[in-house]
Amino acid sequence: MEFNNNIPIYLQIIDNIKQDIVVGKLKAGQKMPSVRELAGTLKVNPNTIQRVYQELDREKITFTKRGMGTYVTEEEKTISSLMQEISKKIILDFVEGMNKLGFSNKELINTLKEYL
Amino acid sequence: MEQILKATQLSKYFYQKKALDKVDMNIEKGKIYGILGPNGGGKSTFLKIAAGLLKPSQGEITIDNKKPGVYTKSIVSYLPETNYLYKWMKIKDALNFFKDLYTDFDTERARESLKFMELEEEEKVTSLSKGMMGRLKLTLALSRKSKVYLLDEPLNGIDPISREKIITSILDSYSEKASILICSHLIYYIEKLLDYVFFLSEGRIILSGDVEELRNKRGMSIDKLFQEVF
C-alpha cells in the first residue's frame, strides 16, 4: 500500500480496510491480521495499527475478542451503511471536483450520461 | 505509558560551541522516536550522552531512573554512525565479540537477521560494501534484548534495497517493552515508523509532537514540515 504522507497514516489504513470490507475482500466475521502482522506487511509502526483497530472497534466495524484478535463485524447493517458512506464520499468528491472546473449540476449530469 | 528515558535541561558545550542547549525529553516504553534535524544540530551528541560516551556539561539524563553508567550500558543498545569493528574481523568474529561484550546478545536472533540481511558469517568485515556494513551494524545493535535502542543515522549512505531491509528489521525488533530512538535527516524514508518526533536545531528542540497529530494539524508530511521549519 502506497501512503500519502501528508495525511495521517492510520486514516488511510482505515479507509483501505473499509473499502476491502465493502467489496468483500474482507468477509463479515473474518479474523483480521494481528497488529504485528499488519504492521509488518504495511511497513508501518505497530502503534499506528493499534490505533486503526481501536478506531474501527469504536465505529463498530470490527470487534476485538480478548486474547483472540480482531474480527470484521457480522452486522449486515453496518456493512451496508459503510457502503453508503464510501459511495457518498466518492460522489461528493466528484461533484466538488466538477463544480470547481465550472460545471453546473445540470451540465455535470449530462457529461456523466455521455460518459456512461 | 511508562517512562524509560528522561532528559532534563540537558546541555553540552564543546568549548564555546553549544552542541545541546537545555534539552528536555521524555521517552516512553513501546514507542519509536525520531530525532530529526540538520547536520550539526546536536542529534549525535544527544545519543552519545544517552549511550554514556559523553558527559553532559549541564542538566541531567536518566535511563530507567539511573544516570549513564555500567547499568545503563547494559540496557542500552547503541548503533554509532562510525565503523567500530576491527579490520581483522570476519562477520562471525563480530558476532562473538558482541556475545562476549553483552550478556543480552541473542546469537540466535543475530543469525536469523544475518540470513535476512543476506550476509555470510565467513565474510570479512573489510570486504563489505557500505550497504552491507550498515546491515551488519544494525543486525548487531538489534540482536541485543535491550530496553532502549539508539540508532544514529541507520540509513545514511544506504542503497534502496538495504534501506528496505533495515526498515523491516527495525519494525521486527519493535517491542512494547522497549523504545527505539532514531536519528536521521532522511525523514521521508522513516516517517512511517515513527510515533513521535523531536526537531533538533542548533542544540535546541524547536518542535516536537505525535507524528499523526502533526500531519493532521499541519496537513503535510513530517518531511515537508521539516523543510518548512528549517
The domain spanning residue B190 has which CATH number?
Answer: 3.40.50.300
- Averaged over A89-98, what is the pLDDT? 92
**What is the 3-state secondary structure of chain A?**
CCCCCCCCHHHHHHHHHHHHHHCCCCCCCCECCCHHHHHHHHCCCHHHHHHHHHHHHHCCCEEEECCCEEEECCCHHHHHHHHHHHHHHHHHHHHHHHHHCCCCHHHHHHHHHHHC
On chain A, the residues whose CB falls within 8 A of the CB of B222 are 5
- Averaged over B160-167, what is the pLDDT? 90
Do A66 and A84 reside in the same domain of the chain?
no
> Is some CB atom of chain A closer than 8 A to the CB atom of B194?
yes
Do A65 and A101 reside in the same domain of the chain?
no
Do A50 and A93 reside in the same domain of the chain?
no
CATH number at residue A52: 1.10.10.10
Q: Cβ of B192 and A8 within 8 Å? A: no
**What was the pLDDT predicted at B103?**
94
- Cα-Cα end-to-end distance for chain A: 30
> Is some CB atom of chain B closer than 8 A to the CB atom of A9?
yes
Distance CA A35, CA A46 (A): 6
**What was the pLDDT predicted at B152?**
96
Query: What is the domain range of residue A104?
Result: 75-116
Partner residue opposite B212 with nearest CB, options A10, A39, A46: A10
> Is some CB atom of chain B closer than 8 A to the CB atom of A6?
yes
Do A13 and A52 reside in the same domain of the chain?
yes
Return the percentage of chain B with pLDDT > 90, whole number: 82
Do A82 and A62 reside in the same domain of the chain?
no
pLDDT of residue B69 exceeding 80, the answer is yes
> Is some CB atom of chain B closer than 8 A to the CB atom of A71?
no
- Averaged over B53-60, what is the pLDDT? 95
Give per-residue pLDDT as tens, B198-216.
999 999 999 999 999 999 9
pLDDT of residue B117 exceeding 90, the answer is yes
pLDDT of residue B39 exceeding 90, the answer is no
**What was the pLDDT predicted at A72?**
95
Query: What is the domain range of residue B105?
Result: 3-229
On chain B, the residues whose CB falls within 8 A of the CB of A43 are 167-168, 171, 192-193
The model carries a pTM of: 0.88
Q: How far are the Cα atoms of A8, B115, B198, B205, B229 from residue B195, in angstroms, in the given order?
A: 11, 28, 11, 17, 19
- Averaged over B48-53, what is the pLDDT? 96
pLDDT of residue A100 exceeding 80, the answer is yes
Mean pLDDT of chain A: 92
Give per-residue pLDDT as tens, B182-191.
999 889 889 9
Mean pLDDT of chain B: 93
Do A6 and A59 reside in the same domain of the chain?
yes
Do A48 and A60 reside in the same domain of the chain?
yes
Give per-residue pLDDT as tens, A19-40.
999 999 999 999 999 999 999 9
Do A69 and A13 reside in the same domain of the chain?
yes
Distance CA B135, CA B128 (A): 10
**What was the pLDDT predicted at A116?**
85
Name residue B199's beta-bridge partners: B36, B207
For residue A94, what is its C-alpha cell? 466528484
As for how many domains chain A has, the answer is: 2
**What was the pLDDT predicted at B16?**
85
Do A88 and A35 reside in the same domain of the chain?
no
Q: Between chain A and chain B, how many beta carbons pairs sit less than 8 Å apart?
A: 54
Partner residue opposite A45 with nearest CB, options B195, B219, B224: B195
What is the amino acid identity at position B207?
Answer: L
As for how many domains chain B has, the answer is: 1
Do A2 and A53 reside in the same domain of the chain?
yes
Beta strands B204-210; B196-201: pairing state: antiparallel
> Is some CB atom of chain A closer than 8 A to the CB atom of B160?
no
On chain A, the residues whose CB falls within 8 A of the CB of B192 are 3, 5, 9, 43-45, 48
Please tell me the distance in Å from A69's CA to the nearest CA on chain B.
Answer: 17
Q: Would you place residue B22 in the very low, low, confident or very high pLDDT band (cuts 50, 70, 90)?
A: very high
pLDDT of residue B156 exceeding 90, the answer is no
Do A64 and A34 reside in the same domain of the chain?
yes
Distance CA A58, CA A48 (A): 15
Partner residue opposite A47 with nearest CB, options B31, B216, B220: B31
Q: Cβ of B194 and A45 within 8 Å? A: yes
- Averaged over A53-80, what is the pLDDT? 92
